[in-house]
């Protein structure tokens, strides 16, 4: 298994929150301290909107890359530029890098801070993505984490874990499922799940779609 | 009240909340957080949606007078300003306390290496 800590390019100089994030956090902290709100209840509300945040165009991006070799090349060269050029959104977080799954290498992304999740493409991070157990196990035992998600990869497929930094975010470009020859981009997009772009899942089986 | 029902009431009572056919949509995670905070404060009876809509309308007017582009992209900036104003007006948290807490979070962020959850400590509140 490919697991190398030098690949984990941590940002060592502290973290950053935008002015808006700071103001929201300050409100939440003060109101929770005084008992006016319950942070757990806030989380429940936000979770209900997990898929309603951001343009959420990851599936269309992946389907396009499966169908259009020129776009795929552009996506792997510079995902931010390629996605903006598609016209799906005005801006994508500073540096988005798309990493391609192949029969030899499966990719997973991990990060603690939701600000380092490519929410413009994938929506809000699921709760497990932010949890400490996922973070540490994704790094130490990615194959075990995949097994928990019901994903079993061939033993000779290496797993590479990409740890987001404050400047760089990742998305996984999953492999196009067999049996989808001749499918339109629109139809292909229905196979692309959020988890398949985080690397904790595979695209849906075309037979079940 | 379930989240969906509460959100529906909010979108019916407060005009212009960005939404699609299924309900509110957000441009960034903090916007969803700001929305959730208002939903819960309303649930606890801190304000009525009528009250909220009138304060929000006032904030939007103020922002437009100050040159806000009014394209809808800044909607939650006004929403957040409304939250801050209402919690101050109701005596829940005044502007000074919010500013002090905001600065403490900024200090906590600056000292927290990436890859570690950001947590507030008492000394973040010292200058």
- Cβ–Cβ gap A22/B46 under 8 Å: no
Residue A134 pLDDT: 80
Q: Does residue A153 register a pLDDT over 60?
A: yes
Cβ-defined contact of A36 to B44 (cutoff 8 Å): yes
What residues of A are in contact with residue B92 (Cβ under 8 Å)? 30-31, 34, 36
List CB contacts (< 8 A) between A111 and chain B.
Answer: 115
Domain boundaries, chain B: 3-92, 94-127
The whole-angstrom separation of Cα A130 and Cα A144 is: 17
Q: Are A93 and A16 in contact (CB under 8 A)?
A: no
Residue B22 at interface with chain A, using a CB cutoff of 8 Å: yes
Cα A16-A20-A24 angle, rounded to 5 deg: 100
Instruction: Assess B27–A contact: CB distance below 8 Å, yes or no.
Output: yes
CB distance B117–A112 less than 8 Å?
A: yes
Residues whose CB falls within 8 Å of the CB of residue A27, separated by 6 or more in sequence, listed in order: B34, B37, B80, B83, B84, B87, B93, B98
Tens of pLDDT, residue by residue over A46-63, are 877 766 666 668 899 999
pLDDT digits (tens, 9 = 90+) for A79-132: 988 988 887 666 666 688 999 999 999 999 987 554 567 777 887 777 677 777
Q: Taking Cα atoms as reference points, which of A24, A19, A66, A48 lies closest to residue A206?
A: A66
Dump pLDDT digits (tens) for B22-52: 677 787 888 889 999 999 999 899 999 989 9
A44 touches chain B (CB under 8 A): yes
**What's the rounded Cα separation, in Å, for the pair A198 and A170?**
8
Residues of chain A contacting B118 with CB distance shorter than 8 Å? 15, 17, 113
What token pair was written down for A67? Answer: 């169908």
Class of A55-198 in CATH: alpha beta
Q: Is residue A18 within 8 angstroms of chain B, CB to CB?
A: yes
Give the CA angle between residues B114, B126, B123 to the nearest 5°.
50
Catalytic residues of A, by residue number, are: 111, 114-116
Is residue A7 pLDDT above 50, yes or no?
no
Burial class (CB in 10 A: 0-12, 13-18, 19+), B50: exposed
Long-range contacts of A129-132 (CB under 8 A, 24+ apart): A129/A198, A132/B117
pLDDT digits (tens, 9 = 90+) for B73-107: 788 999 999 999 999 999 999 999 999 999 999 88
The H-or-E segment that residue A20 falls in is helix A19-33
Q: Copy the structure tokens of residue A131.
A: 């949890």
How close A208 gets to chain B, by Cα (Å)? 25
Show me where the domains of chain A are located: 16-48, 55-198
Contact yes or no for A102/A175 (Cβ under 8 A): yes
The predicted pLDDT at position A24 comes to 94
For A163-196, what is each residue's pLDDT tens digit? 877 678 899 999 999 999 999 999 999 999 989 9
CA distance B113 to B122: 18
SS3 A111: coil
Is pLDDT of A11 > 90? no
Q: Which of A97, A56, A87 is nearest to A192 (CA)?
A: A56
Quick one: A96 exposed, middle or buried, by C-beta within 10 A (0-12, 13-18, 19+)?
buried
Task: Give the CA-trace dihedral at A59, A61, A64, A69, to 10 degrees.
Answer: -130
Chain B residues near residue A37 by CB distance under 8 angstroms: 37, 40-41, 44
In angstroms, the Cα distances linking A89 to A60, A69, A82, A84, A148 are: 12, 21, 11, 6, 34
Beta carbons of A148 and A93 less than 8 angstroms apart: no
> What chain B residue is nearest to A11 in terms of C-alpha separation?
B114
Residue A114: the pLDDT is 45
Pick from B3, B33, B44: CB nearest A28: B33
Specify the pLDDT at position B76: 92
Each residue of B58-77: pLDDT tens digit?
Answer: 999 999 898 887 777 788 99
Give the best residue of B4, B7, B102, B116 to mutate against chain A (max A CB count within 10 A).
B102
Q: What is the pLDDT of residue A8?
A: 33
Query: Which residue carries 């437009």 as its tokens?
Result: B64
Residues 6+ apart with CB under 8 A from A156: A104
How close A20 comes to chain B (CA, Å)? 7
d(CA B94, CA B99): 9
């Amino acid at each position: 298994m490919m697991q190398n800590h030098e690949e984990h390019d941590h940002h060592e100089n502290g973290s950053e929150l935008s002015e808006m994030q700071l103001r929201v956090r300050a409100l939440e902290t003060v109101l929770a301290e005084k008992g006016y709100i319950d942070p757990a209840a806030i989380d429940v509300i936000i979770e209900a909107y997990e898929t309603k945040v951001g343009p959420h165009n990851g599936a269309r991006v992946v389907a396009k890359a499966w169908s259009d070799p020129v776009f795929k090349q552009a996506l792997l060269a510079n995902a931010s530029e390629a996605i903006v050029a598609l016209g799906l959104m005005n801006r994508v977080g500073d540096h988005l890098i798309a990493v391609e799954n192949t029969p030899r290498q499966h990719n997973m992304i991990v990060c603690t801070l939701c600000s380092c999740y490519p929410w413009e493409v994938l929506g809000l991070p699921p709760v497990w993505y932010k949890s400490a157990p996922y973070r540490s196990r994704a790094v130490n035992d990615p194959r075990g984490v995949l097994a928990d998600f019901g994903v079993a990869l061939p033993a000779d497929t290496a797993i590479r874990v990409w740890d987001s930094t404050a400047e760089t975010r990742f998305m996984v470009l999953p492999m196009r499922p067999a049996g989808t020859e001749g499918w339109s981009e629109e139809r292909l997009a229905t196979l692309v799940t959020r988890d398949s772009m985080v690397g904790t899942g595979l695209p849906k089986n075309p037979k079940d779609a | 009240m379930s989240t969906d029902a509460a959100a529906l009431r909010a979108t019916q009572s407060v005009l212009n909340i960005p939404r699609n056919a299924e309900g509110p949509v957000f441009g960034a995670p903090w916007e969803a957080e700001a929305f959730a905070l208002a939903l819960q404060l309303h649930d606890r009876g801190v304000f009525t949606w009528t009250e909220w809509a009138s304060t929000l309308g006032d904030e939007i007017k103020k922002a437009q007078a100050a040159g806000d582009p009014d394209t809808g992209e800044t909607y939650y900036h006004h929403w957040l300003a409304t939250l801050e104003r209402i919690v101050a007006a109701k005596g829940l948290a005044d502007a000074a306390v919010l500013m002090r807490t905001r600065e403490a979070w900024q200090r906590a962020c600056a000292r927290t290496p990436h890859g570690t959850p950001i947590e507030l400590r008492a000394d973040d509140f010292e200058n």
